[in-house]
Amino acid sequence: MLESELHDLSDDADYAASQQQGSASVMLRSDSAKQSSPREGAEIVFLKDNVAIHPTQFASERISGRLKLIKQSSSLSMTWIPYKVHSSEARLSDKDRNLYIIRAVPFTDIRSIRRHNPAFGWQYVIVVLSSGLAHPPLYFYSGGVKEFLATIKQHVLLVRSEEDANVFLVNDFQNTLQRTLSSLEMPRAVPLTCGPSNTSVDESILIENQERADNGANDGRFSVNQFHGKPRHKVDPARDLSIQVLEKFSLVTRFARETTSQLFGENQSNGFSPIDRRTHIQTNLDHPKKSSNVEENTSDESPVALDSQEFDNLSLVWGKPRQPPLGSEEWITFMDSEGRVTDSEALRKRVFYGGLDHKLRNEVWGLLLGYYPYESTYAEREFLKSVKKSEYVNIKNQWQSISSAQAKRFTKFRERKGLIEKDVVRTDRSLAFYEGDDNPNVNVLRDILLTYSFYNFDLGYCQGMSDLLSPILFVMDDESEAFWCFVALMERLGPNFNRDQNGMHSQLFALSKLVELLDSPLHNYFKQRDCLNYFFCFRWILIQFKREFEYEKTMRLWEVLWTHYPSEHLHLYVCVAILKRYRGKIIGEEMDFDTLLKFINELSGHINLDATLRDAEALCICAGENGAARIPPGTPPSLPVEDGSFYAQQEQDEIL
């Protein structure tokens, strides 16, 4: 290895400052420290109190603890243990808090450490394991990040990434350019529309495009490609990889499963409200009466046998049949002569049960997303459209006016622009609307994402956003309109992309609570198999099932979710419905986490959307207030609370 590749930390300001302060604060060799060592012969070389994590975006739910670096022989390990608190003072139970315990992670299992120095708030680090799992961010409320890194450097090889000065690679003995965080990108090995396969990961990568082309199917009515030309079966030459990094973070190693095995443990309360009807609900769900007059048509789409008998009765009682899409003639009946929606609740209910005719989406999506008020007239919507178009142009000009000379001195802009340009050429390129070289729609996709990164500079751009924008631009077919509808969507889903993953943790937390309420056998099985972190549902939630359904069905699902009927968190009940329907196979085949993750990924393209929505409605109604109580306030896609700032690095209040 070339000496210049090591990027020794001695030239780092934090490291230099820590050396000036001396090593006494981090080298704890007293008898009391040795007594607290976890194993005989172990030595605590770094100890820091008041290091915290945030399981949700609420500052009051901060969990503080003690961070240690422990040296034993030639091995260095890291631990973080939360403080014990009185039950009357804790908003989260001890069982919930134990989810985040980090038990003796050896640095041989750590890939990198990312340091964050926000302009406002506190420094924090994100530790990424070799498997790709990212532990929740560790906030240093009493300082100490520089000492933490300096101590690590004394015991293991710590190399600054050449691509990101705030990323430190652990034991990087290869070319640093090939071992930065970008190496977390893992090609998605699961074909979009094929069933389970014994093909190896590497082999499936090679054949995925052909399988997607050969096995692509539609619902028998029409395909998306027919909106812009004849149906096509074309292999995407630049496979859609825009969320590979985030998918990789959903993988969990054996160690990670051990540390999360206590997640939401036995007899755990939800921390939000008591469950009064648990026994009654669970009895109805787990021991339904047989029904002979309900028919589920899932054999064509499902790669495995379903636990449909249970849902037959449940859906018969609670889940109403799906209806045809809302058409133009019926749509007019919901408005007065000037274009105002006279009964928004009735409209949302109608869209929930049937979706929209594609020709109406351009007009109705803006209302469902909150871009246009329901009470606005035709004229007012046209006026708003013209005003917003001018505003969009002004925001767009901000980045378009950046000269090449200025860009050389604008690192954040260059990074975002490069990431966006890489992602858009990988997004839905097999769709006629986006296919081909020099496709103008791909350029518009890029421009909207760049403009959004300036509009919401705190959040910027994250991988996966292009997946959410793609159908919106396809439907609106207007740059400004698509931008503002995307802004409205990101007001609700933006927390999914926070670097500290608070939005995702909050939703996975809620999902685990709902499964515990609605399917105790499955919950208990996941508990036995150390699968209660629900990371196998990460992709579902992150981009709203974008990769689980064909394009047309994705649009139909989204407009159903946007109605917020019967719950704004219906997507979580959709997750429960899918898991519950396949419970027999999951338990019967004794799936562990790795097998379960593979199985969940292979459901892509095989989930019956109408049946799933009917099941989700039934579960939501049965859960009632008990289900709502298990979802923490502010969980996405709830609108931002108070000042609407989901993207601040840290809340500024008395509690902190």
Dump pLDDT digits (tens) for 205-235.
333 333 333 344 344 344 444 444 434 434 3
Higher-confidence position of 338 and 162? 338
In terms of domains, do 170 and 48 share one? yes
Strands 102-106 and 110-116 come out as: unpaired
In terms of domains, do 52 and 168 share one? yes
Is 317 inside a domain boundary? no
CA torsion, ordered 243, 549, 188, 183, to nearest 10 deg: 0
Is 532 inside a domain boundary? yes
What is the side-by-side strand order in the sheet with 110-116?
A: 102-106, 75-82, 63-72, 42-53, 138-140, 124-129, 110-116, 167-170, 158-160
Q: Give the mean pLDDT of 5-21.
A: 36
Q: Is the pLDDT of residue 67 over 60?
A: yes
> What is d(CA 291, CA 631) in angstroms, rounded to the nearest whole number?
32
pLDDT of residue 501: 79
Name the domain count of the chain.
3
In terms of domains, do 449 and 527 share one? no
Higher-confidence position of 330 and 171? 330
- In the chain, DSSP finds a helix count (H) and a strand count (E) of 26, 9
Burial of 111 (0-12, 13-18, 19+ CB in 10 A): buried
Lowest average pLDDT, out of 212-221, 342-351, 550-559, goes to: 212-221
pLDDT of residue 374: 96
pLDDT of residue 119: 67
pLDDT of residue 574: 97
Under 8 Å between Cβ of 120 and 143: no
> What is d(CA 200, CA 544) in angstroms, rounded to the nearest whole number?
27
Q: Give the CATH number for residue 51.
A: 2.30.29.230
Is 548 inside a domain boundary? yes
Under 8 Å between Cβ of 99 and 91: no
Higher-confidence position of 249 and 372? 372
In terms of domains, do 518 and 587 share one? yes
Which pair of tokens denotes residue 161?
Answer: 């990434």
Count CB atoms within 10 A of the CB of residue 87: 9
Is 524 inside a domain boundary? yes
Burial of 102 (0-12, 13-18, 19+ CB in 10 A): buried
Is 411 inside a domain boundary? yes
Which amino acid belongs to residue 444? V
Cβ neighbors of 343 (< 8 A, separation 6 or more) are 334
Supply the DSSP string of 75-116, one letter for each residue.
Answer: EEEEEEEEPP--TTT-SS-HHHHHTT-EEEEEGGGEEEEEEE
In terms of domains, do 506 and 474 share one? no
Q: Give the CATH number for residue 535.
A: 1.10.472.80
Boundary-marking domain end, from 478, 496, 514: 496
Q: Whole-number mean pLDDT of the chain? A: 75
Q: Which residues pair with 11 in a beta bridge?
A: none
The model carries a pTM of: 0.59
Burial of 295 (0-12, 13-18, 19+ CB in 10 A): exposed
Domain that holds residue 514: 502-630
Supply the DSSP string of 587-655, one letter for each residue.
Answer: HHTT--HHHHHHHHHTTTT---HHHHHHHHHHHHHHHHHHHHHTS-TT-TTSPPPTT--S--SS--STT
Is 161 inside a domain boundary? yes
Is 4 inside a domain boundary? no
Under 8 Å between Cβ of 27 and 45: yes
Lowest average pLDDT, out of 71-85, 221-235, 436-450, goes to: 221-235
In terms of domains, do 424 and 526 share one? no
pLDDT of residue 454: 95
Region of residue 442 (phi > 0: left; psi between -120 and 50: alpha; otherwise: beta)? alpha
Residue 348 CA from chain centroid, whole number = 26
In terms of domains, do 512 and 492 share one? no
pLDDT of residue 310: 53
Tens digit of each residue's pLDDT (9 = 90 or more) over 360-391:
999 999 999 999 999 999 999 999 999 999 99
In terms of domains, do 451 and 538 share one? no
Task: Please give the backbone phi and psi of residue 359, each rounded to the nearest 5 degrees, phi first.
Answer: -65, -20
In terms of domains, do 487 and 585 share one? no
In terms of domains, do 585 and 465 share one? no
Task: Please give the backbone phi and psi of residue 256, each rounded to the nearest 5 degrees, phi first.
Answer: -65, -35
Lowest average pLDDT, out of 181-195, 413-427, 477-491, 626-640, goes to: 181-195
In terms of domains, do 483 and 516 share one? no
Which pair of tokens denotes residue 91?
Answer: 């908003």
In terms of domains, do 472 and 540 share one? no
pLDDT of residue 520: 92
> What is d(CA 188, CA 54) in angstroms, rounded to the nearest whole number?
30
**How far separated are the first and last CA of the chain, in Å rounded?**
45
Q: Is the pLDDT of residue 187 over 90?
A: no
Boundary-marking domain end, from 174, 208, 226: 174
Cβ neighbors of 471 (< 8 A, separation 6 or more) are 546, 551, 554, 555, 558
Q: Is the dihedral of CA 470, 476, 479, 480 positive or negative?
A: negative
Q: Give the CATH number for residue 430.
A: 1.10.8.270
Boundary-marking domain end, from 174, 205, 232: 174
pLDDT of residue 596: 93
Is 191 inside a domain boundary? no
Region of residue 340 (phi > 0: left; psi between -120 and 50: alpha; otherwise: beta)? beta
> What is d(CA 556, CA 374) in angstroms, rounded to the nearest whole number?
20
Lowest average pLDDT, out of 93-97, 100-104, 331-335, 461-465, goes to: 93-97
Q: Give the mean pLDDT of 104-114.
A: 91
